[in-house]
Amino acid sequence: MENYNVILTVVFTAFCLAGAMFSLVRQLQMLQQNSYFPSRYFKWLKESYLVESSLSVAAFGLSSILFAFGYYIFITVLFAALLVWRIFNCISVYKNSIKKIVFTKRIIRLFVSAGIVLALFAVLLNIGISKTADTVFFNIFSFLSCLTPVLTLVSWALTLPVEKAAAKKYIADAKKRLAENRNLKVIGITGSYGKTTTKFILTRILSEKYNTVCTPHSFNTPMGVVRTVREYLRPNTEIFVCEMGAKNIGDIKEICEIVNPQYGIITAVGEQHLDTFKSIDNIFKTKFELNDAVLKNGGICLVNGGNENIRTRVKPDNNTVFFGENTDYRAENISFSKNGTSFDLILKNDRIPVSTRLLGRHSVTDIVASAGLAHILGVSNEDIAFAISALKPTEHRLELKKFKNGSLIIDDAYNSNPEGCIAAVETLSNFDTMKKAVITPGLIELGEKEHDCNFNFGTACAKTCDFIILVGERYSAPVKEGALKSGFDKEKLFEAKSFSQALEIFLNLADDNTVCLLENDLPDNYLK
CATH of 399-519, one of 3.40.960.10, 3.90.190.20, 3.40.50.970, 3.40.470.10: 3.90.190.20
Q: What is the 3-state secondary structure (H, E, C) of 289-331?
A: HHHHHHHHCCCEEEEECCCHHHHCCCCCCCCEEEECCCCCEEE
Cα separation, 203 vs 337, in Å, equals 25
Give the best-scoring range by mean pLDDT among 27-31, 77-81, 213-217, 371-375: 371-375
Look at strands 263-266 and 239-243 and give their pairing: unpaired
User: Where along the chain do its domains lie?
Assistant: 2-161, 181-389, 399-519
List residues bridging with 517 in a β-sheet: 410, 438
Cα separation, 56 vs 243, in Å, equals 44
pLDDT digits (tens, 9 = 90+) for 439-481: 998 887 677 778 888 899 899 999 999 999 998 877 788 899 9
Domain covering 181-389: architecture = 3-Layer(aba) Sandwich (3.40)
In this structure, which long-range contacts are made by residues 443-447, counting pairs with CB atoms below 8 Å and at least 24 apart in sequence? 443/416, 443/417, 443/418, 443/475, 443/520, 444/416, 444/475, 444/520, 444/522, 444/526, 445/272, 445/273, 445/274, 445/275, 445/276, 445/416, 446/271, 446/272, 446/274, 446/275, 446/418, 447/274, 447/275, 447/278
- pLDDT classification of 171: cutoffs 50, 70, 90: very high
The better pLDDT of the pair 56, 362 is held by 362
pLDDT digits (tens, 9 = 90+) for 470-509: 988 777 888 999 999 999 999 999 998 888 888 889 989 8
- What is residue 404's three-state secondary structure? coil
- pLDDT classification of 37: cutoffs 50, 70, 90: confident
Cα separation, 21 vs 41, in Å, equals 18
Question: How many percent of the chain have pLDDT more than 70?
Answer: 79
Q: Does the pLDDT at position 212 exceed 90?
A: yes
- C-beta of residue 369 within 8 angstroms of C-beta of residue 304: yes
- C-beta of residue 110 within 8 angstroms of C-beta of residue 155: yes
**Mean pLDDT for the stretch of residues 95-112:** 79
pLDDT digits (tens, 9 = 90+) for 302-350: 999 999 999 999 999 999 999 999 999 999 999 987 778 999 999 999 9
Cα separation, 13 vs 20, in Å, equals 10
List residues bridging with 101 in a β-sheet: none
Domains 181-389 and 399-519 equal at CATH topology level: no
Question: What pLDDT shows up at residue 78?
Answer: 61
φ and ψ at residue 221, rounded to 5 degrees: -95, 165
pLDDT digits (tens, 9 = 90+) for 238-258: 999 999 998 888 999 999 999
Of the candidates 435, 436, 416, the one whose C-alpha atom is nearest the C-alpha of residue 425 is: 436
| Lowest-confidence segment of 30-39, 182-191, 260-269 by average pLDDT | 30-39
